[in-house]
Structures are given as structure tokens and as C-alpha cells.
Amino acid sequence: MALLFLSLPERAAVWKPLFEAAGVEMIVGEATVTDPAAITHLVCWVPPKDLRRYPNLQVVISTGAGVDYMPPMPEGVQLARTLAPGIEEMVRDWVVMATLMLHREMPVYLGQQREGRWQTRPVPLARGTRVGLMGMGRIGRLAAETLRGLGFDVAGWSRSGRAVSGIEVFGADGMDPFLARSEILICLLPLTAETRGLMDASFFAKLPEGAKLVNAGRGAQLDMAALKRALDAGRLASAMLDVTEPEPLPEGHWAWDDPRIVITPHVGASTDAREGALHALDVVRATREGTEIPGLVDQLRKY
Ligand code: NDP
Ligand code: OXD
């Protein structure tokens, strides 16, 4: 069994000693592969075009939590996503920061600062402000609990509507009432055929007037032209985006200069190298022992 590592060199330097200590062969970079038949595991963000070069490949491990950019796997190859726990905490922190920034009108104050203007606005309470969180998975649940701890009135929405202790969760048929109560709407959904383009004009029309939008899911879930129209019409007040389509947005895109929008360059999380390596070792062990692969992705449903 050997693992082919196709990620950043600084991460490889952290992974190497851990793999050596575990007695698992790790090969860094396709150029150093001398025996493609030895490769059983592959770690990457985007895989090489022709995975058939590795006839004994068993599992592709995504270095990120989202796997929407992964192509269909060849017959017999399983797909796993990293379960590095730091990802959830990092994205939770970004989402809490974004929610507070919009709640406390930071886009307005940043604009005023650029103009050298000192002007106060009413200061809102977090307590009772209604936040709606789409995606109640590993990250969404953690973010929801933290926001609730700050006093926000948090509700969630997920495909199944699965219960989460202490938080009202709307299911597939509860989208309209969920949106109607979301003064701050957060997207933490995976990108799938169902969620692509989800946030469009008809979606924004269901939010309360002047709602605020936080997107840390994927850029392709958001119709940017519809966002602009919603901002111009006052339907939405502001937005904070960590993900865009494409990434980065092209030079000159209207959103770069729009004072109602704050953009960060997909930095909600960056997988901790050590945590990623430990998860990959768990995957290798599970494959060896024939037990359930941690982070296994259902490729038919994509999740
Ligand atoms: P999970 O798989 O743990 O949770 C996904 C949640 O979305 C579940 O509640 C799921 O519902 C719900 N959901 C609703 N519709 C769908 C659908 N059509 N297909 C699948 N799930 C659906 O994911 P994570 O919480 O770990 O991550 C969520 C996303 O966050 C990632 O896919 C990625 O896009 C994004 N992300 C962004 C990062 C960043 O840096 N900005 C970093 C990491 C992740 P149910 O529970 O009913 O299945
Ligand atoms: C992601 C990640 O999926 O950074 O966006 O893990």
C-alpha cells in the first residue's frame, strides 16, 4: 500500500514523518512515482486527469471538506473527504465573524471610514435577531450552537430536517417559512445539482426586507446578478462572501468595489496539515482492515 500525495510541499513536510512513523509509504508528486501499480491511495484537492494510470487505486482523499470539484471516480475507487476537525472550527469562526460584521453594520462603517466620516447608527442586539443557517452538517451545527450562545435566535435548514438539540430545523418542504424568518441568512451547503443556483431572485424575494447574506458554501450556489438587483432594491442590505464563482472573481467585477459586500478569498478554512495526515492514516488503516472509511462520500448522491 502506498499513498500518493499531491498537495502543497509545506504540508508534505508535516505528513512525511507521520507516515514514516506509521510504516506507510508516502510518495510526493506524480513525477516521483516509479511503480504506478503500488499506489492505493491518492490525496489531492483536484485529482490528475487520468486516474487509470493507477490500476490498484482504492481511495481518493480530498484535502478539503467540499468535494464538488471531484470528477466521478473510476469503477472500484472510493472517495473520502478529510475529517480534519479544525475545518469545522475555522469555518465556524469565519461564519460567526461574518454574521457579527453584517449584524453590526461593518460594511457601512468601513465605507464611512474610507470617507473620513464619523456617523453612528442604532446599535442592534444579537439577542432575538433571527439567523437562518442553511446546511446543518458538521460545520453548520457547530456554527448554529455558537451563534445561539451569542443570543441570536437561530434556526436551521437541511435536506432531511434532522433534529439538532435546542435548534429548530426546517426540512426540504420548510424552505419558505425558514426564509421568511431569516434576517441574517447563512449558507453552509455543499454544492450539488440541487443547490447550484439556489440563491436567486425568487429566493431573495422570500427573505425579510433588508436581510443580510453570508455565503461560506460555494460560489455557484449564488446568482450574483440577482444579488446585485436585490441589493439595489433594498431587499438585501449587505453580504459577506468567502466563496465566489469563479474564484477569484474576474478583475473589474462589480462586486469587488461594491461597499455593501465584503469578500474574503476562500479562507473560511485551510486544512491543518497534521490533522489531515492523521485522517489519511485512518483511511489507509480502514482500507487495510476492511472497516468503514472515515469521511466516505456517497458518490451516487454525491454526499
Ligand atoms: P456536511 O455534509 O456535514 O453537511 C451538509 C449539510 O447540507 C447537511 O445538513 C445536509 O442535509 C445539507 N444539505 C442540504 N441540501 C443538500 C444537498 N442537496 N446535498 C447534500 N447536502 C445537503 O458538510 P459540511 O458541514 O462539512 O460542509 C458543508 C460545505 O461547506 C462544504 O460542502 C463546502 O462547500 C463548504 N465549506 C467551505 C469552506 C470554506 O473555507 N469556505 C471550508 C469547508 C467547507 P442532511 O443533513 O439532511 O443530509
Ligand atoms: C472547502 C475546504 O471545502 O476548504 O472549501 O475544505
- DSSP for 250-277? PTT-HHHH-TTEEE--S-S----HHHHH
Tell me, using a 6 A CB cutoff, whether residue 65 lines ligand 2: yes
Q: What is the mean pLDDT of residues 238-254?
A: 98
pLDDT in tens, 94-117: 999 999 999 999 999 999 999 999
Which range, of 6-15, 56-65, 67-76, averages the lowest pLDDT? 67-76
Average pLDDT over residues 134-162: 97
Q: What is the pLDDT of residue 271?
A: 96
Q: What is the mean pLDDT of the chain?
A: 97
Q: Residue 300 above 70 pLDDT?
A: no
Nearest-CA residue for ligand 1 atom 1 is 137
Average pLDDT over residues 237-254: 98
| pLDDT (average), residues 54-80 | 95
Rounded to whole angstroms, what are the CA distances from 276 to 1, 5, 196, 200, 290? 18, 12, 28, 35, 21
Determine the Cα–Cα distance for residues 140 and 99; give it in Å rounded to an integer: 13
Average pLDDT over residues 174-193: 98
User: How much distance in Å is there from the Cα of 6 to the middle of ligand 2?
Assistant: 16
Confirm whether 162 is a catalytic residue.
no
Q: Rounded to the nearest whole angstrom, what is the distance from the C-alpha of residue 228 to the centroid of ligand 2?
A: 26
In this model, does residue 123 exceed pLDDT 80? yes
Taking 80 as the threshold, does the pLDDT of residue 303 lie above it? no
Query: Which segments of the chain does DSSP mark as H helices, in order?
Result: 9-22, 85-103, 106-114, 138-149, 175-180, 201-205, 224-232, 254-257, 273-289
What would the mean pLDDT of 124-149 be, rounded to a whole number? 97
